[in-house]
């Protein structure tokens, strides 16, 4: 398998998951300036990471890639549990992170592209930040008395970790969310996470 990614981007979720499998893979950094040009657009015309190539299989979109990795390496147990109910629960939180939290963060990353005036950009950032904190409150409650979003560590936990890194980059105050802080600390100490960070030149 070969994963194309951008350091610190959502492709870090897939990178962590591949580290958890304990199986060999290649990781190639795609410079931000190269995302929208060939040869990368020959692989993904959308010009975005992550992209996973496995033989004649080329996958884009995070959820599809994470599911593929989990299915290819069931022994890694990154589905979030051994029962259908447990796996569905982990997928539920993965869906929230991918479809709602990540999407709202895009308003912070891309405020200058979405609205033209500085006042409108500030308003958009505030609205997005408030909405993110509302969702963080739900996730914080889910983590009360538990280590992971699912029954066991899963791809959803990797996604939450990456999103919490983004929150740190935006200097969001997470003091009201002790369970999120504890989750971040657990993930930060994980050997697979540390290996992925090192490979991407991150701390």
> Residue 20 maps to which CATH number?
3.40.30.10
Query: What pLDDT is recorded for position 13?
Result: 98
- The arithmetic mean of pLDDT across residues 80-108, rounded, is 95
Residue 50's SS3 state is coil
- Mean local confidence (pLDDT), 99-110: 93
pLDDT at position 157, please? 98
Shared-domain flag, residues 121 and 180: yes
pLDDT at 149: 97
Comparing CA positions, the residue from 79, 58, 72, 74 lying closest to residue 158 is: 79
Q: Comparing 121 with 143, which gets the higher pLDDT?
A: 143
Give me the mean pLDDT over the 129-151 stretch.
Answer: 97
State the pairing for strand pair 26-29/51-54: unpaired
43 shares its domain with 137:
no
Q: What is the average pLDDT value for the chain, to the nearest integer?
A: 96
With 90 as the cut, is the pLDDT of residue 113 above it?
no
Q: pLDDT tens digit string along 71-85?
A: 999 999 999 999 999
pLDDT tens for residues 177-197?
999 999 999 999 999 999 999
Residue 203: per-residue pLDDT: 86
Are 68 and 90 found together in one domain? no
Domain enclosing residue 33, as ranges: 2-77+193-199
Number of domains observed in the structure of the chain: 2
Q: Are residues 149 and 72 in the same domain?
A: no
Nearest to 62 by CA among 71, 50, 72: 50
Q: Do 69 and 18 touch, CB atoms closer than 8 A?
A: yes
Residues 102 and 49 both lie in one domain: no
Q: What is the CATH number of the domain that holds 182?
A: 1.20.1050.10
| pLDDT score, position 122 | 86
Whether residues 135 and 49 fall in one domain:
no
Joined together, the tokens standing for residue 20 give 């958890």
């Amino acid at each position: 398998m070969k994963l194309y990614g951008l350091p610190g981007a959502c492709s870090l979720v897939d990178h962590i998951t591949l580290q958890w499998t304990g199986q060999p893979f290649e990781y190639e950094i795609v410079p931000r300036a190269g995302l929208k040009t060939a040869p990368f657009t020959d692989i993904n015309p959308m010009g975005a990471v992550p992209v996973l190539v496995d033989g004649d299989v080329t996958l884009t979109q995070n959820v599809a890639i994470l599911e593929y990795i989990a299915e290819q390496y069931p022994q890694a147990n990154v589905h979030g549990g051994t029962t259908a109910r447990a796996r569905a629960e982990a997928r539920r939180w993965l869906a929230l992170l991918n479809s709602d939290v990540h999407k709202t963060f895009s308003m912070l990353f891309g405020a200058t592209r979405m609205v033209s005036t500085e006042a409108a950009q500030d308003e958009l950032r505030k609205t997005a930040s408030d909405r993110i904190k509302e969702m963080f409150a739900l996730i914080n409650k889910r983590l009360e008395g538990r280590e992971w979003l699912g029954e066991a560590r899963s791809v959803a936990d990797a996604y939450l970790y990456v999103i919490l890194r983004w929150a740190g980059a935006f200097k969001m105050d997470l003091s009201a969310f002790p369970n999120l802080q504890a989750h971040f600390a657990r993930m930060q100490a994980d050997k697979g996470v540390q290996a992925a960070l090192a490979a991407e030149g991150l701390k």
